[in-house]
Each structure stands twice: as structure tokens, then as C-alpha cells.
């Protein structure tokens, strides 16, 4: 029987620095002070649901909208004027997929600056030689004009954006320009990186452009284990790069509200969050493990019996370096591609016939008829 992986709860363990400052109960009163008449007019129903869910959380664990530790940390790092919009969009990200509500735009857009990576992590699709060779057609860097087009289309329509997918974002030759162009356009802008290519100029690009969260991907607290999981990686180099990041941040950007997180894949029982916390805790704000899903080659996996719809079909959309729009990155070879961002807008792709047909197939418990959904355990 397949192990079901619930995307809405991907952290299996999470430690946050200064956790005692994360006050759940005070948010309810704070929210009421930030609600404007304009927000009431446009989002009254969601606001009432958010307030109700938070109130229910005080007496019950059955809330659909869970202000988890990382969500509260993100909320508290925001300027007051952005806090309500953050919660509204977080509600859409978390609750709409559970209730299968299709928002006008994807609650989250994940953009792939490049599909290339200098690592070959053992749990990643970069280990698939059919995928990672230049001649495969899957490798490349996103053109800056396409990046600008996507950003222009989602600005003021999408508030959650992540630069990450099949490759290492910092390998993009246009990384600095992408950072400059995205500055202050989104409430929650996140970058995932293995940190091996962090240098002074890239650190300044990240910090001066007010990135919300910077995630360093690492799974171990010693060099040998790190190399085993993050093949081609060098732990000491990564540590020095993160130390440099902290030095520059403290010296040149003391008011920065960026959240830093080390996030590892919980691949084996030998990995221990307490060891990770002891090792990384002084360097970053948060240390986490995410559950391992066998995503490194779903196409060679046996079919499973799962019929529950995949929540990601209502949560996020991926845009690859070449413009292909994909419902998920487990399907890293784009068998499910719904179109191309060079030809259509993000809104058109999200609401396209191809996308809606896939959603309908899942709702009708027919995902077992669609590859690679019939081999995937994500719900």
C-alpha cells in the first residue's frame, strides 16, 4: 500500500528560534485592528472565516485554517499593512485546496529560473539521466523577458511566489535582474537554494530586494552524511556561504526581516532533527525536515490505489524555464503540461480546459487513469 503524502502538512519537524514570541492568541485581536472597509468589501467572507477559524482553534484542533509556527513567524515579520492580505492569501493557499475551491489565480506560483543544478541529491529527479542531460531538452535557463512577463501578470493577483523547482535558482545568469524586478511586488516571496553558489553579489541581490524567506536545503549535521544525500556538495563551503550571508545581513541590512530556514528531506531514520538544530540553529531562524516522497523517478514507480484528488491542483502552478506550465513538479518531464506561458497568461493557463479536465478527473476518482498521477502518492 502506498504511503500517502499530505502536501498541506509537509513539515514533519520544525524548530523556530525565539518560539516563545509566537503568540497565536493575540493575532485574533490584532487582525480586527487591521481590517479596512476596502478589505471588508472585497474579502468579507474570507475574513469572517479566518476570524472564526482562529477563534475555534482556541478550543479545538479541528480548524481548517491552521496558523502553524512557520505561518505565524511569516505573519509577524510583515509590516502591519500587509498582515491581513497575507492571512487572506494564506487562507486561499491552505483551505481552498482542501475544499476544492478554484481561485481566479493560483494561490502560489512557483517559477523555475533554471532547470540546471550542480548537485545530484539522491532523492531528486536530477539523478535521472534521461532528464539531466542537455540533449534531453529539459535543461535550460529562463529568459529574462519571460520572467518579466510572468511577474507582470501575477503582480497584485498572486501574493505567494517561490523561485524553486527542478534546478538551483542561483545558477541562473539573470538571477540578480530577477531579484531587482521582483522587489516589493509580493507579500511572500521565497527562494530555495542549496547555498553552494551564494556569494557576496548574490547575497546583496537577495537582501536589498526584501525577499521574505530564504530556504537552504540541507539534510545532515556532518560532512560525510551531507555528501551522501547532497551528492557533489561540500558542507564546509555551504557553511561558509551562510556565515557570509549572516555577516552581510547584520552589517549592511540590520533592518532586514528575511526569514532563513535550513530544510532537509527526512530520507532515513538516521537523520535527527535535534542534531540538525544543534548544528544549524545558530546560523538560521528555522530548522525543518519535510517528509520524503519518492519523487526522484515517479515514472518508474508502480501504480497505486490512491483515488483521493491531489490538492496541488487547487494550490499552485509551476512555470518551467521554457514557459511550460505544469500542475506539479513530481511530473518533472511535463507529461501533464497544460500549456506555455510564452503563449498564454498565467490566468488563462490556470483556468484552461486542460487544467480543469485534470481537476475533474481527480474529483471523479479517476486519477488512476492518468500518468503519472496513478503512480504518485501526493494528495
Q: What is the pTM of this model?
A: 0.93
Task: Print pLDDT tens along the chain (379 aa).
Answer: 455 556 555 666 677 776 655 566 677 778 777 777 777 777 888 888 888 887 776 545 567 887 888 888 999 999 988 999 999 999 999 999 999 999 999 999 999 999 999 999 999 999 999 898 888 899 999 999 999 999 999 999 999 999 998 999 999 999 999 999 999 999 999 999 999 999 999 999 999 999 999 999 999 999 999 999 999 999 999 999 999 999 999 999 999 999 999 999 988 888 888 999 999 999 999 999 888 877 778 998 999 999 999 999 999 999 999 999 999 999 999 999 999 999 999 999 999 999 999 999 999 999 999 999 999 998 8
Quick one: 48 exposed, middle or buried, by C-beta within 10 A (0-12, 13-18, 19+)?
A: exposed
Q: Rounded to whole angstroms, how far apart are CA atoms 350 and 346?
A: 6
Instruction: Answer positive or negative: Cα dihedral of 247, 251, 253, 257.
Output: positive
The predicted pLDDT at position 293 comes to: 79
- Given 3-state DSSP classes, what are the helix, strand and coil percentages for the chain, each rounded to the nearest 5? 45, 15, 40
| Confidence at residue 47, expressed as pLDDT on a 0 to 100 scale | 87
| pLDDT (0 to 100) of residue 1 | 46
CA pair distance 316, 256, nearest whole angstrom: 27
- Is 310 in contact with 6 (CB distance < 8 Å)? no
Q: For 108-293+316-323, CATH number?
A: 3.20.20.70
| 318, 142 Cβ separation under 8 angstroms | no
pLDDT on residue 22: 54
Rounded CA separation 372/108 (Å): 22
Amino acid at each position: 500500500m502506498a504511503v500517502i503524502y499530505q502536501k498541506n502538512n509537509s513539515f514533519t519537524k520544525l524548530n523556530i528560534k525565539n518560539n516563545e514570541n509566537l503568540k497565536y492568541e493575540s493575532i485574533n485581536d490584532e487582525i480586527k485592528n487591521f481590517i479596512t472597509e476596502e478589505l471588508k468589501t472585497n474579502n468579507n467572507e474570507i475574513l469572517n472565516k479566518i476570524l472564526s477559524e482562529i477563534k475555534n482553534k482556541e478550543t479545538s484542533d479541528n480548524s481548517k485554517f491552521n496558523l502553524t509556527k512557520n505561518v505565524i513567524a511569516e505573519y509577524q515579520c510583515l509590516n502591519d499593512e500587509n498582515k491581513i492580505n497575507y492571512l487572506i492569501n494564506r487562507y486561499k493557499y491552505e483551505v481552498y485546496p482542501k475544499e476544492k475551491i478554484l481561485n481566479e489565480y493560483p494561490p502560489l506560483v512557483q517559477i523555475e529560473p533554471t532547470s540546471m543544478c550542480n548537485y545530484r541529491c539522491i532523492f531528486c529527479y536530477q539523478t535521472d539521466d534521461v532528464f539531466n542531460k542537455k540533449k534531453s531538452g529539459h535543461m535550460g535557463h529562463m529568459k529574462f523577458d519571460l520572467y518579466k512577463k510572468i511577474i507582470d501578470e501575477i503582480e497584485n493577483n498572486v501574493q505567494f511566489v517561490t523561485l524553486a523547482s527542478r534546478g538551483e535558482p542561483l545558477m541562473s545568469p539573470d538571477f540578480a535582474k530577477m531579484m531587482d524586478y521582483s522587489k516589493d511586488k509580493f507579500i511572500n516571496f521565497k527562494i530555495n537554494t542549496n547555498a553552494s553558489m551564494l556569494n557576496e553579489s548574490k547575497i546583496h541581490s537577495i537582501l536589498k530586494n526584501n525577499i521574505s524567506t530564504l530556504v537552504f536545503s540541507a539534510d545532515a549535521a556532518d560532512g560525510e552524511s551531507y555528501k551522501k544525500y547532497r551528492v557533489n556538495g561540500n558542507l564546509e563551503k555551504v557553511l561558509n556561504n551562510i556565515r557570509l550571508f549572516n555577516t552581510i545581513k547584520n552589517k549592511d541590512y540590520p533592518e532586514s526581516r528575511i526569514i532563513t530556514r535550513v530544510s532537509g528531506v527526512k530520507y532515513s531514520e538516521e537523520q535527527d532533527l535535534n542534531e540538525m538544530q544543534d548544528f544549524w540553529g545558530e546560523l538560521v531562524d528555522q530548522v525543518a525536515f519535510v517528509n520524503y516522497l519518492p519523487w526522484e523517478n515517479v515514472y518508474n514507480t508502480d501504480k497505486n490505489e490512491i483515488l483521493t484528488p491531489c490538492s496541488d491542483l487547487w494550490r499552485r502552478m509551476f512555470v518551467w524555464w521554457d514557459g511550460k506550465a505544469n500542475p506539479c513538479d513530481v511530473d518533472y518531464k511535463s507529461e501533464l503540461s497544460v500549456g506555455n506561458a510564452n503563449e498564454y497568461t498565467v490566468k488563462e493557463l490556470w483556468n484552461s480546459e486542460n487544467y480543469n479536465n485534470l481537476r475533474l478527473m481527480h474529483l471523479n476518482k479517476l486519477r488512476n487513469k492518468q500518468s503519472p498521477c496513478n503512480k504518485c502518492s501526493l494528495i
